[in-house]
């Protein structure tokens, strides 16, 4: 493969697709790596989506993500169907190792999302695909006029239970809380209570999935009495949270105890040039709208990272003469006097180049050289930092140059 890009996005869910739109629109050579046949991530398995801005009457996850993918393609984003296995850093390049070869890029956005959490109860793994499912949109029609059980009581679980009632004869939700208490938002709870096809089992947990060749029932444990009862059913749907897909970068990127990637508000990870967006990162709210926002921010930050890096390399590190770099800010009035002094030192005659860096617009370089006070001056020769001044006076600058 061995292609080279400005921006590689790993993951084709809403975060990755939004990043693809913003990256390619900014004229970055952009590609989205997605191992599935169709992009969309978890959102593409969500049938009902009525809280995405602009769709008051609702839309479907597959339709929304299809439009996002078409939007990214329209701006020139390339889609590569393969699986990312590892990211390596080599100087200012990032190497994404895939099943089909290496891809070289200046920046990477990790948008691999999360996958359904497995409870690990007895029978869950044994009957997966034979009555155990994690996606109502994918499998609901298999249970037409049959009885199913839903494990979980958050927004996703209850929304998917409501969707299942379009097909199933009866849907039973197992709820760990006391009667009338669920983790789902009130409006979603009310819809579930009003649906005649939905029943609830309160104060209980799923103990076991039972069956022969396929699921024939479940064992449910009452948390207050300890009693275990068996309920016949034809399928079990699990909606008990997600696990981030970050194993492939666990030795490179800083994560929290649950495996979610830690970023700042620019979606920057602890590794320069690598960003994270969407459900894969540590965040307060995991929704399609916040994933799309993350992707837009990450791509914009990646664009600025490239511009800042390449500008600094050209103007400073690869300069053919010594360089004075003055870090200034329009909010610090005294820096204007400092710049004026430097511009009148006759630097051209001394074969010295002056580069001005606005710390407000160029935080990356300022942070790299630990610029704490404004103004601060750095002196480079042949790309190597030779001296540093925080007391930027004419006398001190001349001492550096002449010394």
Q: Note down pLDDT in tens along the chain; length 403 residues.
A: 557 999 999 999 999 999 999 999 999 999 999 998 888 887 877 767 777 888 877 788 889 999 999 999 999 999 999 999 999 999 889 999 999 999 999 999 999 999 888 999 999 999 998 999 998 877 899 999 999 999 999 998 999 999 999 999 999 999 999 999 999 999 999 999 999 999 999 999 999 999 999 999 999 999 999 999 999 999 999 999 889 999 999 999 999 999 999 999 999 999 999 999 999 999 988 889 999 999 999 999 999 999 999 999 999 999 999 999 999 999 999 899 999 999 999 999 999 999 999 998 888 899 889 999 999 999 999 999 999 999 999 999 999 998 7
Q: Which active-site residues does the annotation give? A: 135, 138-139
Say yes or no: domain 132-238 is CATH 3.30.460.10: no
| H or E element at residue 224 | none
End-to-end CA distance of the chain: 50
Cα separation, 235 vs 214, in Å, equals 9
**The dihedral formed by the CA atoms of 273, 323, 340 and 392, expressed in degrees to the nearest 10:** 90
Cα separation, 258 vs 255, in Å, equals 8
- pTM for the whole thing? 0.78
Q: Which long-range contacts (CB under 8 A, 24 or more apart) does 214-217 make?
A: 214/127, 214/130, 214/131, 215/123, 215/127, 215/130, 215/131, 215/132, 216/131
DSSP string, 164-176: HTTT-SEEEEE-S
Cα separation, 249 vs 97, in Å, equals 11
Diameter of the chain measured on Cα atoms: 91
Same topology, domains 132-238 and 319-402? Answer is no
pLDDT for the residue numbered 92: 87
What lies within 8 Å, CB to CB, of 273 at 6+ separation is 89, 92, 94, 106, 107, 108, 302, 305, 309
CATH number assigned to the domain covering 319-402:
3.40.30.10
Indicate the burial class of 37 (C-beta count within 10 angstroms; 0-12, 13-18, 19 or more).
exposed
Cis ω before 375 (30° cut-off from 0) = yes
Q: Which fold has domain 3-116+242-312?
A: FAD/NAD(P)-binding domain (3.50.50)
Where do the structural domains in the chain lie, given as residue ranges? 3-116+242-312, 132-238, 319-402
């Amino acid at each position: 493969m061995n292609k080279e890009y400005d921006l590689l996005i790993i993951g084709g869910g809403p975060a990755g697709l939004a990043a693809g739109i913003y990256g390619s629109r900014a004229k970055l050579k952009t590609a989205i790596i997605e191992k599935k046949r169709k992009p969309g991530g978890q959102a593409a398995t969500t049938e009902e989506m009525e809280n995405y801005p602009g769709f008051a009457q609702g839309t479907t996850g597959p339709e929304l993500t299809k439009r996002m993918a078409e939007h990214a393609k329209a701006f020139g984003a390339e889609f590569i169907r393969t699986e990312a296995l590892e990211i390596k850093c080599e100087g200012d390049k990032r190497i994404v190792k895939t099943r089909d070869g290496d891809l070289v890029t200046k920046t990477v956005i990790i948008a691999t999302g999360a996958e359904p959490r497995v409870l690990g109860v007895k029978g869950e793994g044994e009957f997966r695909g034979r009555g155990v499912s994690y996606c109502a949109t994918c499998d609901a029609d298999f249970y037409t006029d049959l009885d199913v059980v839903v494990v979980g009581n958050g927004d996703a679980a209850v929304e998917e239970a409501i969707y299942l009632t379009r097909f199933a004869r009866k849907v039973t939700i197992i709820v760990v809380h006391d009667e009338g208490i669920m983790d789902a938002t009130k409006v979603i709870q009310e819809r579930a209570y009003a649906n005649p096809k939905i029943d609830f089992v309160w104060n209980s947990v799923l103990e076991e999935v039972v069956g022969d060749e396929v699921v024939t029932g479940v064992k449910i444990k009452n948390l207050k009495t300890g009693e275990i009862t068996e309920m016949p059913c034809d399928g079990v749907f699990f909606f008990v949270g997600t696990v981030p897909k970050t194993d492939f970068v666990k030795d490179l990127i800083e994560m929290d105890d649950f495996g979610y990637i830690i970023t700042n508000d620019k979606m920057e990870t602890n590794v320069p040039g690598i960003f994270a967006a969407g459900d894969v990162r540590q965040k307060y709210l995991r929704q399609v709208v916040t994933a799309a926002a993350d992707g837009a921010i990450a791509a914009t930050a990646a664009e600025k990272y490239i511009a800042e890096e390449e500008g600094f390399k050209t103007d400073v590190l690869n300069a053919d003469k010594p360089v004075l770099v003055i870090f200034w800010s329009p909010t610090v009035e005294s820096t204007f006097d400092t710049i004026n002094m430097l511009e009148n030192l006759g630097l051209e005659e001394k074969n010295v180049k002056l580069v001005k860096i606005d710390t407000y617009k160029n935080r990356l370089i300022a942070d790299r050289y630990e610029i704490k006070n404004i103004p601060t001056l750095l002196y480079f020769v042949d790309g190597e930092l030779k001296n540093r001044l925080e007391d930027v006076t004419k006398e001190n600058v001349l001492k550096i140059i002449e010394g």
